[in-house]
Amino acid sequence: MVGKFFDWLKAAKLDEERPIVGISKNEIDELAAAQGQIAFPSVYQEFLEDCGKSAGLFQRDAAFFFPEVKDLKRRLLEMLEDEGIEFTVPANAFVFGAYQGFQFHYFICDGGTDPAVYQMDDGGGDPEMVAETFSSYIRKGIAQYRDSFYQKS
């Protein structure tokens, strides 16, 4: 079944050079186990089913897809230790994106369906909420990628 994330990527034409590829239920379970989670928010589950391995051109320059995302919580913890940043990553945080090893995005698995997204980077300080929902984070990101690849002349 094709979901809204697939539709949003197709509408933005981000599938024209690279395919949109989801992951299986077994791969979703493997991913959840890798970061110690019991259940993902339903919106992230849908994202994984639609495009957990590839979302076309979207996020192609980031650690954002299976299987690489399995290791992101460990990488965030290492970055915090290496930089001497005193922050305790919540046990129910799921780290779903990383950019060049110094910026990480995560949400909290607390039973909500579409959680807020937070950013932590090597500059220290408290995490910053960068989107009120995962869906809005993805929609904004798709628009940015679309605009960077298909700028109007």
**pLDDT tens-digit readout, 88-109:** 999 999 999 999 989 999 999 9
- What's the pTM value of the predicted model, to 2 decimals? 0.93
Separation CA 116–CA 137 (nearest Å): 9
**Confidence label for 148 from pLDDT (cuts 50, 70 and 90):** confident
- Homologous superfamily (CATH) of 4-149 is SMI1/KNR4-like (3.40.1580.10)
Whether 90 and 118 have beta carbons less than 8 Å apart is answered as no
Q: How many CB atoms lie within 10 A of CB 45?
A: 17
Q: Give 112's DSSP letter.
A: -
Please give the C-alpha separations between residue 7 and each of 14, 82, 86, 147, in angstroms, as whole numbers: 10, 40, 40, 17
- Measured CA to CA, the distance from residue 138 to residue 83 in angstroms comes to 29
Residue bearing tokens 């700028």: 151
What does the radius of gyration of the chain's CA atoms come to, in whole angstroms? 15
Q: What is the pLDDT of residues 65-81, one digit of tens each?
A: 999 999 999 999 999 99
d(CA 79, CA 82) in angstroms, rounded, equals 5
